[in-house]
Amino acid sequence: MGRNMILLCSVVVIVVAVCLVLYGSEVRLTLLGAAVILAALAREPLVVLRTFLDTFANEQFLVPIGCCMGFAFVLRHLHCDQHLVQLLMRPMQSMRPVLLPGSVVVGVMVNIPLISQASTAVAVGTVLVPILRSAGYGPTTIGATLAMGCSMGGELLNPGAPELRSILAVRGPHDPLAQSFDIVRRVLPLLLVHVAVALPLFWWLNREDYPGEAEKEKSVDTFRLNIFKALVPLFPVLLLFLTALPAPFRVITIPPEWLLTSPSTKGTWDSRLVGAAMVVGTLVAALTDLRRAGEVAKVFFEGAGYALTHITSLIIAAKCFGEGVARVGLGTFLGQAIERIPGLLWPLAAVLPLSFAWVCGSGMASTESLYRFYDEPAQAQQADPLQVGALVALAAATGRTLSPVAAVVLMAAMLSGTTPMAIVRRIALPLLGGLSAATLLAAW
């Protein structure tokens, strides 16, 4: 079979896979099936099996993501997440004009330590929905506020986020010293611009739903805030920040022998550091409620199991799919197109991940599948590959938030009593405007 015919058949396979996902097919099964067919077209069917096994046992994913979700489950078990939400929301309850944008910011901040968008929606929604409802906002506005805040990219500021691990896995052979915080530093300005543009647009679009000064419902807040519990979710991120500062300003230095069993495991340092921070955070969280501390270990491993089932499994499927795409030459074709028209690098780094995440409802799967195809073109154009990766991850997060099949959108719709499509229509313009501004900043 000629090269052009292989490319044509590969495009057909990808289109069919996209249609199956849109019609409700299970994402992992669809991606794995498409990967097998693509690898067979490239006459390398066993590459999918090798990629599956390599990724399944890859410490770059298992340790940081598993420990992050374990920590998130412990926070939920001890209600630390609820105390954090209450701490952030209380000052805004008396400032009605900023209640809506403030609620979005709260969602972004809570998503940093929790990383799971659906879990963040549950944690934030139990507090946010009654507050916004008592202020007189309608179900669609409440659901849109919840989905937008919990999913527009806050998790990308967490060094253990799976999207960052995917970027590092690709960059590793070219830049072995790259760490999660190197990507976080590039994501931060893009996310700030994204939020700065999207929030005013969202606020303006919902101006007709603003209840004014009239109280629609009275709610009595009897929640007893515990500051210690409220600050615990931020502890691991702060700990990682203090260890990642440049040498003259570094507050904490972790000796390598504390985490590495031998020099051969040096490449896993960043992953183990993230995992260790989450374990220490779990121990600190246990101190907030000694009566329930006996169940912390069990809950932590339940969270790690959840990560394997719902996050790492998606990484495995997406990586197999990406490998299949690479083997048939579509990645090379994309690289050649960017080489001929250099101006395509940044727009494609936003549009393709956005579209893929919109289809499958997963920003993680989109980043894992597509970032590898931008790495070499970025180097060829002397662009910063990590900056490209930051944009890819942010675009994928935007696509996920705009997907009516994304778990976080479904959860936001359920908690607020509206429909996923109503939420998507309400947040589409603000998020696309914010991503456009972030893309311009990244290119500049």
Which amino acid, residue 290? L
Q: Does residue 418 belong to any structural domain of this protein?
A: yes
pLDDT tens digits for 89-116?
Answer: 888 777 777 888 999 999 999 999 988 8
Q: Does residue 67 belong to any structural domain of this protein?
A: yes
Instruction: Tell which residue, 143, 204, 148, 209, has the closest CA to residue 428.
Output: 148
Q: Does residue 149 belong to any structural domain of this protein?
A: yes
Instruction: Tell which residue, 427, 375, 422, has the closest CA to residue 400.
Output: 427
- Between CA 185 and CA 114 the distance in angstroms is 19
- Count of domains observed in the chain: 1
Burial class (CB in 10 A: 0-12, 13-18, 19+), 216: exposed
Instruction: Tell which residue, 329, 331, 443, has the closest CA to residue 377.
Output: 331
pLDDT of residue 331: 80
Q: Does residue 405 belong to any structural domain of this protein?
A: yes
Q: Which residues contact 137 (CB under 8 A, 6 or more apart)?
A: 100, 145, 206, 209, 210, 211
Share of the chain above pLDDT 70, in %: 95
Residue 45 predicted with pLDDT over 80: yes
Q: What is the mean pLDDT of residues 337-343?
A: 86
Q: What are residue 45's phi and psi, to 5 degrees?
A: -65, -30
Residue 419 predicted with pLDDT over 90: yes
pLDDT of residue 210: 60
pLDDT tens digits for 306-336?
Answer: 999 988 898 899 889 989 988 998 888 888 8
Q: Does residue 214 belong to any structural domain of this protein?
A: no
Better-predicted residue by pLDDT, 266 or 392: 392
Q: Does residue 216 belong to any structural domain of this protein?
A: no
- Between CA 444 and CA 442 the distance in angstroms is 5
pLDDT tens digits for 171-212?
Answer: 888 888 788 889 999 999 999 999 999 999 999 988 766 655
pLDDT of residue 127: 87
pLDDT band at residue 251 under the 50/70/90 scheme? confident
Torsion 202-205-207-211 (CA) sign = negative
Q: Which residues contact 315 (CB under 8 A, 6 or more apart)?
A: 55, 61, 65, 162, 165, 166, 364, 365, 368
**Around 382, how many Cα atoms within 13 Å sit in the side-chain half-sphere?**
0
Instruction: Report how many helices (DSSP H) and strands (DSSP E) the chain contains, helices first.
Output: 22, 0
Q: Does residue 230 belong to any structural domain of this protein?
A: yes
User: Position of tokens 């938030």?
Assistant: 401
Residue 248 predicted with pLDDT over 80: no
Q: What are residue 47's phi and psi, to 5 degrees?
A: -65, -30
HEC assignment per residue over 231-290: HHHHHHHHHHHHHHCCHHHCCCCCCHHHCCCCHHHHHHHHHHHHHHHHHHHHHHHHCCCC
Tell me if 318 sits within 8 A of 368, measured CB to CB.
yes
Provide the CA 325 distance to its chain's centre, in angstroms.
23
Residue 218 predicted with pLDDT over 80: no
Tokens of 79: 């209600």
Tokens of 261: 């069993």
Share of the chain above pLDDT 90, in %: 57
Tokens of 25: 């097919």
- Between CA 29 and CA 15 the distance in angstroms is 15
pLDDT band at residue 216 under the 50/70/90 scheme? very low
Q: What is the mean pLDDT of residues 369-394?
A: 93
pLDDT of residue 240: 86
pLDDT of residue 221: 59
* pTM of the predicted protein model: 0.86
Residue 384 predicted with pLDDT over 70: yes
Residue 220 predicted with pLDDT over 60: no
Provide the CA 391 distance to its chain's centre, in angstroms.
12
Mean pLDDT: which of 303-312, 337-346, 377-386, 393-402 is highest? 393-402
- Between CA 128 and CA 124 the distance in angstroms is 6
Tokens of 313: 């499994």
Residue 232 predicted with pLDDT over 70: yes
HEC assignment per residue over 107-132: HHHHHHHHCCHHHHHHHHHHHHHHHH
Residue 50 predicted with pLDDT over 60: yes
The parent domain of residue 198 ranges over 3-208+224-443
Q: What is the mean pLDDT of residues 414-439?
A: 95
Tokens of 233: 């979710």
Tokens of 325: 């795409």
pLDDT of residue 136: 84
Residue 214 predicted with pLDDT over 50: no
pLDDT of residue 315: 86
